[in-house]
Amino acid sequence: MDESSRRRFLALAGGGGLVAALGCRASGARSELVKPLPDALFIRHGAHNAETRLESLSPGQLVTPNDRFYVRNHGPTPRLSAAGWRLEIHGDAVARPVSLTYDELVTLPSRTITRYLECAGNGRAFFAELLGFAADGDPWRDGAYGVATWTGVPLARLLGLAGLRDGAAWVMPVGLDGDGYARPLPLAKAMMEDTILAYRMNGGPLPMDHGFPARVVVPGWIGAASVKWVGALEVSTREPMVPANTEDYVLLGADYPRPPPVLTTQVIRSAVCMPWPGLLPAGRRTIYGLAWSPFGAIARVEVSLDGGHNFTRVARLIGDDLPVAGTWWQLELEAPPGELSITPRAVDEHGHTQPPLSQQRLNDKGYLFAAPVPHPIRFV
């Protein structure tokens, strides 16, 4: 079936489940996600992970539409209903355990913020491609990054309802998926005003794959901290030890001590938003990309046309440039026929920038790739 007859057939057939089923047949593998994953929008990694093709986004529009926001799951997306859902706030450091319904949650005072999420493994493919280092895990390129406008209740307010006991030090959101994915947050991070339990994403209810009915958003931290499908907040005096802070999302390898450092903040990064490799007619062209920082807004994007040795060009920032979200950038270029690589390097408002490839530290699981990436383009 070609694309237009497929669309017509889907329109006649109706129903999200059928669309999802055919969507995954189109990309040649079973999907355990709810939303369709057309090849034009996503690169699939196994049955329940998909990265955004950044070239499918619209330059200048910083917010990533829900239908193309990357998904990183440790298992199939659970299909929860708001009606049966409860948020339990409990633990040895809580004064009075609380249980909230969805209707109760959404009537509490809320906060709306535009922030990015990024998987700690984003850019993992470049450890192998640029440094010859075979890291463990899915070979994400640049697209495990997305920006959304989130609405939710600050964790500080939810914890206030339960009351904290002396010695409260950790807050662990617990997911209702599979084995109950969970990852603890230090109390100070949980109490920051932008750390929220979100129930809306980009103006609609949270989509199933992104944590319906409610997920935590921890701005600036690795995506693994932003627990989806949250059923409980466990507040404790001691740090809970779970897979996500002992085996995964920690720095393992020759350079690191034991027990391993636990990952928290993301790294500043940038990307060219083009297929890999890019293909363009020679001549005067505009190259588009994204840049983002976990610390603030982007101040500047510098560009190297010699594989990352000399950053001789400065890109123009376009559209919104929002703290802990990112910005689009563009570069005008006069390109003769032939191969060219374009290497962006982001600088944020506090002066943080991307380390040279020679300073990229290695870790067994390939987290936090930070160096500028030369993006190959063939001009014909």
Binding site for ligand MTE (CB under 6 A): 69-74, 117, 119, 175, 177, 181, 210, 223-224, 226-229
- Of 207-266, which residues contact Mo ion (CB under 5 A)? 223-224
Is residue 126 classed as helix, strand or coil in its secondary structure?
helix
To ligand MTE, the closest distance from the beta carbon of 77 in angstroms equals: 9
Identity of the residue, 85 or 145, whose beta carbon is nearer to Mo ion in the bound complex: 145
Cis peptide upstream of residue 205 (ω within 30 degrees of 0): no
To ligand MTE, the closest distance from the beta carbon of 208 in angstroms equals: 10
Q: Which does 148 bind (CB under 5 to 8 A by kind): ligand MTE, Mo ion, none?
A: none
Q: Tell which residue, 378, 305, 286, has the closest CA to residue 344.
A: 305
- Please identify which residue in 24, 98, 119, 218 interacts with Mo ion, judged by CB under 5 A: 119
Is residue 6 classed as helix, strand or coil in its secondary structure?
helix
List of residues 6+ apart from 342 with CB closer than 8 A: 272, 287, 289, 303, 304, 305, 331, 333, 374, 375, 377
Which residue type sits at 298?
I
Q: Which does 73 bind (CB under 5 to 8 A by kind): ligand MTE, Mo ion, none?
A: ligand MTE
Identity of the residue, 175 or 223, whose beta carbon is nearer to Mo ion in the bound complex: 223
To ligand MTE, the closest distance from the beta carbon of 64 in angstroms equals: 9
Q: Tell which residue, 297, 287, 263, 252, has the closest CA to residue 375.
A: 287
Identity of the residue, 139 or 278, whose beta carbon is nearer to ligand MTE in the bound complex: 139
To Mo ion, the closest distance from the beta carbon of 367 in angstroms equals: 9
To ligand MTE, the closest distance from the beta carbon of 185 in angstroms equals: 12
Residue 72 in contact with Mo ion, rule: CB under 5 A: yes
Bridge partners (DSSP) listed for residue 83: none
Question: Would you give the distance in Å from CA 54 to the centre of its chain?
Answer: 13
**Distance (Å, whole) CA 164 – CA 56:** 45
Identity of the residue, 60 or 243, whose beta carbon is nearer to ligand MTE in the bound complex: 243
Residues that bind Mo ion (CB under 5 A): 72, 119, 223-224
